[in-house]
Structure 1
């Protein structure tokens, strides 16, 4: 059997390749690609029976593989490898797409390889990927993706108290009392949530969820007390606009 690994992380590719060599005796050829375009070239030249495809890559999502096979059959099996956690598992189950969660478990990899069969109905494979993409889009409607070292957690907007800038990092304060530290700037989240009216940036270091304001304090400037009793300052140059917004909404 020929297997192609498409993943932007060289370590992840090497780990998978080692597992395939050690655990899957039926695998005779292993190819690697660091991006989708390179991977598609290998698919068309080497004709692998199985493609282990990472979903989240910087340049292109693994789901975009359909763009390269619009007029061609997908006569190879795809198993997505992903760091998505339990919040996204339902998306895979809904689409009936095979997947492996990182870090890859050797037994699950063996099972995935053993299930490989050449699928002749190209529309069946393509439809499953389309369904998966729609499932992720639906999941994103009311949630935000937080990239953690162990994977990606999907958090409902209604569970976020506020975002706090911390240099090149952002602290995401949740109503559960926990705080997630994300390797993204506050601007990343501000831009992402610009069309979500429940989020407001009263200060260059904070992006708050208006639903969880408990009190507005006019002492030594203007401050908002959040549900967790944390006091958030309102910048002087944003005071007037903030008060107008409060009067308009509440």
Structure 2
């Protein structure tokens, strides 16, 4: 790296602070800006200087780390944020989909190394603005208070931010024709190409407007108005024929719902 990467640790657990700081200082070009045990203390530090990266605990006394993250996302050039959390898999789902990264306590050395690598790549290619927009959308859609809401979000995504090495691409949901599950990823079939996105089908589906997309198969999600017709095959199974002539299987489990959706006026 041409210049040191300055970082701030915000965590109310002193032992967690020390362990994280010790692990990061092994990177010779990472420079500590300080540590804070609360959001107010972090604000005091941030009035003096702004780090490149903040390792931010979520659940802290009096004020959640999410409130500080919201404030930082309002800046023109916010720092990169790596969330540090003891939340379980369900609670950190939104962070996996949107944030630069997250570290689950107790922090795993491999995961920390991955977070450091992503931060370095993002800073090198100067993609902070795209990441900031992604986080702003996360806060607008997912979080109304300082803690993750237990109620399902009523705002559906209009864009998806897709990370790859050294860049972030913003994909408009309206350009997705159909989605194919591939393990821990989904393959987005767009009007002008394809892109892999790190999320399960069920994770993605709950953020898409239900009237706009429909399952035809456990591994396939289709934009409803892209289906032009249903085709009965020789074995009495069905296929959905899309406007672009792509044919997709329809499982017996989803057949009735697909037929009902197609009977509705577009």
Write the distance in 2 (CA, Å) between the matches of 1:176 and 1:238: 27
SS of structure 2 residue aligned to 1:173: strand
How many pairs were matched up? 186
Instruction: Give every structure 1 segment of 4 or more consecutive aligned residues whose post-TM-superposition deviation is greater than 6 Å.
Output: 7-10, 13-17, 55-58, 60-63, 66-69
8 Å CA contact 1:160–1:173 kept in 2: the answer is yes
SS of structure 2 residue aligned to 1:51: coil
Aligned position for 2:79: 81
8 Å CA contact 1:51–1:79 kept in 2: the answer is no
**Which deviations, in whole Å up to 9, do the C-alpha atoms of 1:68-114 show, x marking residues without a partner?**
99xxxxxxx9941349xxxxxxxxxxxxxxxx9953249x8xxxxxx
Q: Which has the larger radius of gyration?
A: 1
Question: Residues 30, 203 of structure 1: CA spacing in aligned structure 2 closer, same or farther, 3 A cutoff?
Answer: same
Out of 212-221 and 179-188, give the one that drifted further. 212-221
Structure with the higher fraction of residues in helix conformation:
1
Alignment of 1:18-37 (within 5 A): 18=29, 30-31=33-34
SS of structure 1 residue aligned to 2:264: helix
**Which deviations, in whole Å up to 9, do the C-alpha atoms of 1:155-180 show, x marking residues without a partner?**
11221111111112211111102x21
Aligned-pair Cα RMSD in Å: 4.7
SS of structure 1 residue aligned to 2:257: helix
2:231 counterpart (217, 226, 249): 217
Write the distance in 1 (CA, Å) between the matches of 2:41 and 2:167: 28
Structure ranking higher on relative contact order (CA contacts 8 Å, 6+ apart): 1
2:207 counterpart (177, 192, 197): 192
Aligned position for 1:181: 196
When the two structures are superposed, what TM-score results if normalisation uses the length of structure 1?
A: 0.55
